[in-house]
A and B are shown apart, each in its own frame.
Chain A
Amino acid sequence: MSEAIVKALDEAASRVGASLGKDAATAVTGLYRDTSGKLTGVIKRSVGTDVEHAGQLKQIADKLEHNATRGDLSAADKAAEHTALRDKLKGILDDPGKGTKPVIKREDNDFSQDHFVPKDPKTGQPKIDKQTGDVVKVGKSHMNADGELVPANPNGKTTITQHVIGGNDPKVKGSSPYTSFAPHAPNGGKTYGNHEYHLDYNKMQQDIDSGKLKDVELHNPASVQNSIQGEINGLAGGKHVTVPPGSLPNGEMTKSEKSAFAKQIAQEHGITGPAKNDLAQRINALSNTRRDNEWLVKGKIPSEYLTKIR
């Protein structure tokens, strides 16, 4: 689970080094390494103590990388920014967490249906498909009779990026083997939907690692974002594209910023035709999932990892 975060931080640190020169690079990456020590283990412990750490660590990696590529800052300004980010990184890695069991949450108005059945608002009856004469069904994650949380299609081929983009294709959504989760803030946070389940991601990851839990994958925000980032890089001919944080208070890009950035990248890499739209979709998806700090689980989730909250 921590590998995706380590990868993001490693890549960001290497770009910091490339940006600030060899001596500065040694100082930057050295301090970063001093802070992290045996990085994978430290990050695993950090994410295991507080669910918000996973998203925060990825945000720091993104900001480190963005600062390294900025042309409007002097080397001194960049170094100062990186120092501030490293201090923040150290703060997160040293943070013992909130003392409550960290969990991710899934909210829904009705978990019991294995699909969503749209109703005619006038008659209250299920809508009928005019092509087939059958009741209209929309695939969604749901609880089955065994208390497992099951995605729209556990054997479906929908990818992480397709799942996050969503889009207009019900076949893609109906074929998703993924269920989306959000970090649960123990002290407050917005609640949506009539029902809520919490997932003990530490226990799940331990059981995946030990081989006790099979055919299930857990993707933290860094893992989700790395998947989308990989597709953006692919559209740019395999070159890494640094997608900057936006100007909104939560670091999200405005619509105008996303559009301008997509055009810039398309021009720089000669991306034309439908691929230009693919690029814009993926930049939008990356920005959205950064905002939501979204986690994904692939496959059926056994009941022992779930707790019903309401």
Chain B
Amino acid sequence: MEMNELYTDIVKEYSISKHNQHNLADASIRVPGKNPSCGDEIELELKIDDGIVVDAAFTGIGCAISRASVTIMIDLIKGKTVAESKELADIFLKMATREDVCETDLEKLEDAAALQGVSNMPARVKCATMPWHTLCRALEE
């Protein structure tokens, strides 16, 4: 696979951007996410108010794929309801593991669809999915 299919312009831009990488002083939930084999280690913080994700951020260390994934995810879920966020996570996880996803659903992912390239790279799928699995765990709590 060509590197520019994995590290697309969108992935590069979000992996370098640090706009969601900080602590939330008034977070209502903090959930750790880990990929022990490659050393991605983040903490996702959400502020949920009346069933809506009012604010979100993360701290920690990760590779470009996981950083891009978590940054895009946070942009995407801010202002969405818990149910909508869960739906987005379901779509993303399906896309990353090469399950069928219809065009309308893929559009809902917006920039996160740029991470589709990892589905062709078994060694890197976990980097992209880890933030979304972490989100699912956070929303269940």
- Tell me if chain B binds chain A: no
A residues lining the B interface (CB < 8 Å): none
Binding site for A on B (CB under 8 A): none
